[in-house]
Amino acid sequence: MAAEAKVAYRKPKKHIHVFDVVNYIVFVIVALIVLLPLWKVLVDSFNAVGVYQFRFWPNQPTLAGYLTILTTQKLYRPFLNSVITTILGTLLGLVMSTLGGYVLCQEDMPGRNAMSYFLLFTMIFSGGMIPEYLVMRQLGLVDNMWILVVKHGMNVYNLVLMRNFFEGIPASLFEAAKIDGCSPMGIFFRIVLPLSKAALASIGLMYAVTVWNDYSTVQIYITNRDQVNFQYILRVMVMDGDTPTTAYKVSQNTLYYAAIVCAILPFMILYPFLQQYFVTGVNIGAVKE
């Protein structure tokens, strides 16, 4: 009887499905497509001799490229400008998106639908480059790095995402807070924001990446060398060959790749700390009760 019981309750063997095998192969290929270019940039940034072939390890390892980037004084100001504009632009964007999304999720607000349609209209149509330039000139933002903060301070797409996230918060929490005598702004700071960590992290990361990587705005609106950001200097180095002079024996390509690694390094360090919030925030507004 014991032998029969063991046979009866024996766990079924797991079979490997063809879909799982194909799925793993596809993901491995996609991972290689994404990682191999990054690995080439990293390897070439440590290679004293510029090569165009793909190599897993540098032929002549050197830190001269990074030492040049870190010791060149004319790169200090652009990097500092990028840090300042990214922090302030992200904070301004989060303030505008959270306040705007909170207002638009109030069902009893007069003109709520009209305001939503007006904002969505701006996502499809814009005034164009010349009217935008004239407006920025009237605001005194031409040749001023603060244009990066103001221009990206309001993103309708991120505002809609934030509104959808707020609408997913149970209405019973708002009703309980109102019964306890909490004001609308009290509800916003005491209930809405503490429950929105995932949304704030993911949307804040979107704002930060947008401001940090923006060089086209600098190219159009800024001619003062002291007001440009690090991405614009990187673009000039790569496209125009304007590399800084150095006492180190290093190729021009090594300087390019070292500058690229320095440009992406801040977010490579920041992303692991925000990954759990970012993965959760990907589904903002996707599921509603």
- Which residues face 61 on adjacent strands? 47
Check whether residue 37 and residue 122 sit in a common domain: no
Check whether residue 52 and residue 80 sit in a common domain: no
Q: Where are the beta strands (DSSP E) in 105-210?
A: none
In a domain, 141, yes or no: yes
Q: What's the CATH number where 157 sits? A: 1.10.3720.10
In a domain, 111, yes or no: yes
Among 41, 61, 81, give the residue marking a domain's end. Answer: 61
In a domain, 100, yes or no: yes
In a domain, 263, yes or no: yes
Check whether residue 49 and residue 172 sit in a common domain: no
For the chain, how big is the Rg over CA atoms in Å?
26
Contact (Cβ atoms closer than 8 angstroms) between residue 50 and residue 252: yes
In a domain, 9, yes or no: no
Check whether residue 186 and residue 43 sit in a common domain: no
How many CB atoms lie under 10 A from the CB of residue 52?
Answer: 7
Residue 50 has what pLDDT?
66
Among 61, 94, 116, give the residue marking a domain's end. Answer: 61
Check whether residue 202 and residue 227 sit in a common domain: yes
Residues with Cβ within 8 Å of residue 81, at least 6 apart in sequence? 145, 227, 228, 229, 230
Per-residue buried b or exposed e for 166-177, using 16+ beta carbons within 10 Å of the residue's own CB:
bebbeeeebeeb
Q: How many CA atoms are closer than 13 Å to the CA of 201, on its beta-carbon side?
A: 20
Check whether residue 56 and residue 78 sit in a common domain: no
Range of the domain at 52: 17-61
In a domain, 287, yes or no: no
Check whether residue 162 and residue 42 sit in a common domain: no
Check whether residue 250 and residue 115 sit in a common domain: yes
pTM of the model: 0.78
Report the sign of the C-alpha dihedral through residues 195, 197, 198, 202, in that order.
positive
- pLDDT tens, position by position, for the chain (289 residues)? 445 555 555 555 566 677 778 888 999 999 888 888 888 888 888 887 766 777 778 778 788 778 887 777 778 888 889 999 999 999 999 999 999 888 888 877 788 788 888 888 888 887 788 888 888 888 888 888 889 888 888 888 888 888 888 888 888 888 888 888 888 888 888 888 888 888 888 888 889 888 998 888 888 898 888 888 888 888 887 776 666 666 667 777 788 888 888 888 888 888 777 766 665 555 554 444 4
Check whether residue 116 and residue 51 sit in a common domain: no
CA-CA distances (angstroms) from residue 131 to 35, 128, 250? 41, 6, 45
Residue of 271, 266, 268, 279 whose CA lies nearest to 197: 279
Check whether residue 50 and residue 167 sit in a common domain: no
Q: How far apart are CA 177 and CA 285, in angstroms?
A: 23
Check whether residue 151 and residue 259 sit in a common domain: yes
In a domain, 10, yes or no: no
Residue 246 has what pLDDT?
63
Residue 284 has what pLDDT?
52
Contact (Cβ atoms closer than 8 angstroms) between residue 98 and residue 202: no
Check whether residue 218 and residue 100 sit in a common domain: yes
Among 6, 41, 61, give the residue marking a domain's end. Answer: 61
Number of domains in the chain: 2
User: 195 is written with which tokens?
Assistant: 């429950």
In a domain, 288, yes or no: no
